[in-house]
Amino acid sequence: MIALLRRAQRSVHGYFSVVSRVLYEHGSGYSTVTGMLSSFFAVSLVIDYFGLKRCAFTPYSIPVILTGTLAYTAWVWWQGKDLAPWAGLVMVAANGTIAAIIVGTQTDLTKVIVNLQEMPLIAMYVAWFYRPVFTRCIIGVYMWVIILSGYFGSGTYLQGPSVWHEILRLALFTMLSAELGILWRKRIQVDNQIDVLTKAINRAGMYPRVAKEIVRARRYSQPLCVVMIGGDDFTPVTGMKGHFVGDMLLASLVDQFRASMRKSDSIFRLGGDEFMLLLPGTNAAGAETIVNRLQGETYHPWSCGVAELRPEDDAEMLLSRADQRMYDDKYRRKLKAGLISE
């Protein structure tokens, strides 16, 4: 019997693993979670009605709601990676409408509270997939619509102060869930943009930062420079002393850069021994001064290219010009050292 249960458990686990893998390969985290959440609402509705006999809807409306929910779930998974952002809001609006109907028409507090337990889950969903300001607005409207529906509807469950206490506690818990979702999302985004070895910002975080500083520089008519940096003769170091020593050299180099930079400056690791400095409020002459000072304070030699923001530049053009100048400087250094010939 135990062996049979274990076999059944492995079969169920394998089935859901295959389904999850297929959904993620065809779709995205957004489409997969949206579909799963919609199917959860459908299952919850079925359990409430057929199992616990406490559903707030009539028997005639249950098949309509259930069919619509399952059709929406199938459409979401079929859309996959092409699922539009408004699709998730349709689900949230539908859930809020159903909750408002329940709150506005029911006299049984148990039925109301059972259906409102989904509010924190909705809050976490919106917080994860939408912007913080938008999340706070959506959840605020969501809660007020439900509360006002109960107050002005035909239901009588809002008569006693103890009920208001429960509703207020649920509303606060829902807002807390939304804020925790926002903080969790921000934390993961920050962690995903930090290079593990050097603690510098990685390539994923580079373009948004550069684009943001370009907008700020043009808004306030301030200069902006980027400095591309490439280590010289770094491969022989790792070849002779090992990758561990090479990693320690990279981390030490970033620490030396950071110790001599302003708080408004940023350092990025592009990969390997290539880095980029973002210097707001600094023109080309000022950037050259910073570069000369940094070269005198670091232990390992490196080449660099400085580019100042031009009126016609976007982020890619600015970075490309600095990158080309860095390779030109690297070529001149090798030529001067006699490592290559013209």
d(CA 56, CA 107): 10
Q: Give the pLDDT confidence of 168-182 residue by residue, as tens digits.
A: 777 788 888 899 989
Contact of 210 with 278, CB cutoff 8 Å: yes
Q: Give the pLDDT confidence of 107-136 residue by residue, as tens digits.
A: 666 666 666 778 888 899 999 899 999 999
Contact of 65 with 110, CB cutoff 8 Å: no
* pLDDT recorded at residue 266: 93
* pLDDT recorded at residue 310: 93
Q: Which two tokens stand for residue 303?
A: 């080449």
Q: Give the pLDDT confidence of 206-260 residue by residue, as tens digits.
A: 988 999 999 999 999 999 999 999 988 777 777 788 888 888 888 988 998 998 8
Q: Give the pLDDT confidence of 23-63 residue by residue, as tens digits.
A: 555 667 788 888 888 888 877 777 766 654 555 566 667 77
* pLDDT recorded at residue 2: 64
Is the predicted pLDDT of residue 315 greater than 80, yes or no? yes
Is the predicted pLDDT of residue 154 greater than 80, yes or no? no
* pLDDT recorded at residue 323: 93
Distances (CA, A) of 334 to 98, 151, 308: 71, 79, 25
Is the predicted pLDDT of residue 272 greater than 70, yes or no? yes
More confident residue, 26 or 314: 314
Mean pLDDT, all residues of the chain? 81
* pLDDT recorded at residue 321: 94
* pLDDT recorded at residue 162: 53
With tokens 């030529």, the residue in question is 335
